[in-house]
Each structure stands twice: as C-alpha cells, then as structure tokens.
Chain A
Amino acid sequence: MSARSDVLIVGASAAGLATAESLRRRGFTGTVRLVGEEPHPPYDRPPLSKQVLLGTWDAGRTVLRPPADLACQGIEVLPGRRAVAVDTGRREVTLADGTRLGYGDLVLATGLTPRRLPAFEGVAGVHTLRTLDDVRRLRAALAAARRLAVIGAGVLGCEIAATGRALGLEVTVIDPAPVPMADRLGAGTGLRLAALHREHGVRLLTGTKAEAPVTAGGRVTAVVTSQGPVPADAVVIAVGSLPATDWLRGSGLPLDDGIVCDARCRAADHVYAAGDVARWWHPGQGRTVRLENRSNAAEQALAVADNILGADRAYTPVPYFWTDQHGVRVQIFGDPAAGDHLRVTEGDPDSGPFTAVAEAGGRPVGVIGWNSPRGARRARHLLTDA
C-alpha cells in the first residue's frame, strides 16, 4: 500500500464508483475522492439507449448511488469538475478551474468519448449518445422526428434503432460492414440479429458507407450514402468511441488506444486505470486488451482496489456483455470473433431461444445466449476450463 492513504479517482461513472466502493468494502479508511466531469451523481449508461430513450425510465432511475449513500461511505464526490493534467512526479492532478489535488494513489477511469464524423459536425438534428444530457437531447429530437437514420450497426447503433422502432419511427441503419456486430458476436449471431431487425421493420443498409448530410436551413434532411440518399430528420452517429485520454498527453503515462497498464492494471507507480479507458497486459492472452463493457467497469475496478491495497493480483476476466434489441436479450461471454465456428448447445437459432459456443481451432472462445440467460451462464465454465 501507498505510504499516503488517500486515493483520487478521476471519472465518476461505473468504474470510478466501483473502485471507490470496493476500497471501502475492503476496509480502506483513508480519503477517497471521486472527480467527475458531468454535473450528475454517478449514473449507469446501459439504460440510456434503451429504457431512458424509450421513456420507460426517467433519468433519475439511472443513478447508481444517491449522493447521501456516498457521503455515508465517506466517498467525497466532486461533480462538474474536469481534470486537465496529471503530474506523476508531484502526485498531483490539476482541474480545469486550476485546483490541484494531491494523491497517494490515482485511478484513471475517464471512459470514452464518441467517435465523430467531420462531415456531420455542427449540423442540427445530428446526435451522438454517451451521456445523460445526450439522451435528453436525442429524446426530444425523436419526439419531433418521423425518420431516424442511425450511422453504425454496432451494439449502440442497433439498440438505438430498436428503440426508434418502438417509438414508432421509420428507422434506417447504415454500416459499411456486411454483417452487423460480427466482430462482437460472431457472424452467425450477427446474421440472426440482422434478420431480427428486418422482421421489426428496420431498414438495414449493410455494406453501405454514410458519406455526408443533406441539409436545409442548417438542419439535416437526409444522409448521402454509397447506396443513394436516406431521408432523415434525425441522425445518430454511433460509429464507436475513443478512450478519453487527451488530457493525459504530456503526462508521461503510456497511451496507445487507452492507458497502457501492466497485468495489475498499473500504468505507473501509484497510478492505475479501470474500465473502458484501460488497456492492460492480459497474461493469459499474451497481449494487451481493452474492454468496452459495463461488466468490465465493475470487475476491473475490484482488481484495481485490491491492488491498491497490496493484493498484487493479475486481472484475467471472462469478458461479458449483453444487449437488448426488439425484446431479445443477447448475452456474450468471452470473445467470439467473426470467423468462429458456432456450435449450438441448446435451442434452435432459427426459431427461438438458443445457447451456442463459438469455437476457434476447436477451442471454445465465446458463449452466446439468445434469450437464454441460464443456458449462457451454465456454459460460461467452458471458457474458464479451456
């Protein structure tokens, strides 16, 4: 453990909060401070593209821990404060307002920022979705819209498309890849998902590049694509995200598509990273890994808290994510890739719920559950026993 018993966490979302809470659960009695750029108390992002956008949850339901609960645990939260620099020699973080905060141990959990498309910048009616404020704006836009174009058929884009249909909009999804989400789900499940979207009236333009907006009076009216124009009065750009590390340039911390860490999630002496922003050395895989999923935010935070407290524990998770689209819950354990062989172990992919194992070179690399949560969890052990 550090000689100084104060931990500063930059990033007050799932990973930052989980680090703070697990430090307390494990009996850490020093100062724990959580600095967040957004004005809101720590909240959960997965419901934003689903329940909150649809309107079945109000924004307050996403709060992960009420401020009073955090105060009870002795976790000091500084919302609406942006970190702009780290000095690892002086062990100090500078905030945008000039405040300097010292630390015994520092945890970087700044997450992601949505990737942008320059051609669409500054056009009214074009949105991204990452924050609570984003979803408020998008919800208002969709209430006034008739035709929604979603650029990007990844997890987020597909979820927004499904929510758009549930809101009664005409929805078109545009993506250059031939199969949606194949890199996350494998090609077989991606094709099943494409069929699900089409069954629910989503126009899915795969193998199609979104090129530029068409505007009238500064507002979007259509998207120019390689397959012709797609009329739209609202557009969502969901083409992936970048680790929020710009503020760390010049800090001397190793950055390469994330904050590069050792197997203990340590980027430098007394500096750790957790969640979407962390790229760490995975000893089992013999390479660095960065995971963008909600489960990793919590799990990696636990490893970081343990290591701050001296555990010297390598982080070797079984990745997990889920997505809800058109009433179907797809769950993924492990890391299936587009070319994997899919072996169905329960159910029938053509007609309903199923569980499948993705295999590469005869070895299980992923487990897929399609409306099959128990089946998927039971099959998970194939990945840890492999």
Chain B
Amino acid sequence: MVLRVEIDEPRCVAAGHCVTAAPEVFDQRDSDGVVVLLDAAPPAGERERVREAALLCPAAAILLHERDGA
C-alpha cells in the first residue's frame, strides 16, 4: 500500500489539528498557520496518524491517495 498526501492549501483554516495528530508529517507556517507538508509519502508507521489527521481537518484540506503497490 502506498499513501500519497496532498494539500489543498487555499482551503486550510490553520486549525493545526493535523499537526497535533501527525507532527512528523504536518507543520504550520509561521506567518499564517497554513499547513506545511513535511512528507508527501509518509512511511507505514505514520499512515494511521495521517488518516486521522485527514478525517479531523475541519476544512477537508488534506487529500489522501491510497493505492496498492510497493
């Protein structure tokens, strides 16, 4: 399974829930708090936290693409 993360930046409302849920994968820009993607293809150990972050995002700004494969 491969997980690719994409951000719809203009949607982001800087809630920071993603950073709380998966701090290895998401950060916030200093100026306006908009999400910064640290890892667009997170390793297996991070994936559950990333899925949680996507579900929790109050602006639906985190898009996940999952497909089978190495």
Contact = CB atoms under 8 A, between A and B. Distances in A.
Contact of A329 (B14, B28, B51, B59): B14
Contacts of B28: 373-374, 377
A331 B55 contact: no
A238 to B, nearest CB: 20
A322 B59 CA distance: 11
A113 interface: no
A72 to B, nearest CB: 11
Contacts of B56: 295, 298-299, 302
A322 B30 contact: no
A139 to B, nearest CB: 20
A22 B60 CA distance: 13
B51 A25 contact: yes
Contact of B33 (A65, A320, A373, A380): A373
A322 B55 contact: no
B67 to A, nearest CB: 12
Contacts of B51: 25
- The dominant DSSP class at the B interface is loop
Nearest to A51: B10
Interface in A177-208: none
Nearest to B32: A373
Contacts of A380: 16, 20
Interface string B22-53: 00000010101100000000000000000110
Contacts of A22: 55
A46 B16 contact: no
A21 B64 CA distance: 12
Contacts of A10: none
B59 to A, nearest CB: 7
A18 interface: yes
Given A295-B15, A320-B15, A329-B14, A377 B55 contact: no
A150 to B, nearest CB: 22
A163 to B, nearest CB: 16
A18 B28 CA distance: 24
Specify which of A18, A297, A301, A377 lies most central, judged by the most chain B CB atoms within 10 Å of its CB: A377
B57 interface: yes
A294 interface: yes
B30 to A, nearest CB: 6
Interface string A236-275: 0000000000000000000000000000000000000000
Contact of A322 (B14, B32, B52, B60): B14
Contacts of B14: 322, 329, 331, 373
A25 B55 contact: yes
Interface in A43-93: 44, 46, 64-65
A322 B13 contact: yes
Given A331-B14, A373-B33, A298 B20 contact: no
A377 to B, nearest CB: 4
A116 B59 CA distance: 28
Given A294-B59, A373-B14, 12 more contacts: A44-B59, A46-B13, A295-B15, A295-B56, A298-B55, A299-B56, A301-B55, A302-B56, A320-B17, A331-B15, A373-B28, A374-B16
Interface of B: 13-17, 19-20, 28, 30, 32-33, 51-52, 55-60
21 contacts: A18-B55, A21-B55, A46-B13, A46-B59, A295-B15, A298-B58, A299-B56, A302-B55, A320-B15, A322-B14, A329-B13, A329-B14, A329-B33, A373-B15, A373-B32, A374-B16, A374-B28, A374-B33, A376-B16, A377-B20, A380-B16
Top 7 A-B pairs, shortest CB-CB distance: A373-B33, A377-B16, A373-B14, A294-B58, A295-B58, A64-B60, A374-B28
Interface of A: 18, 21-22, 25, 44, 46, 64-65, 294-295, 297-299, 301-302, 320, 322, 329, 331, 373-374, 376-377, 380
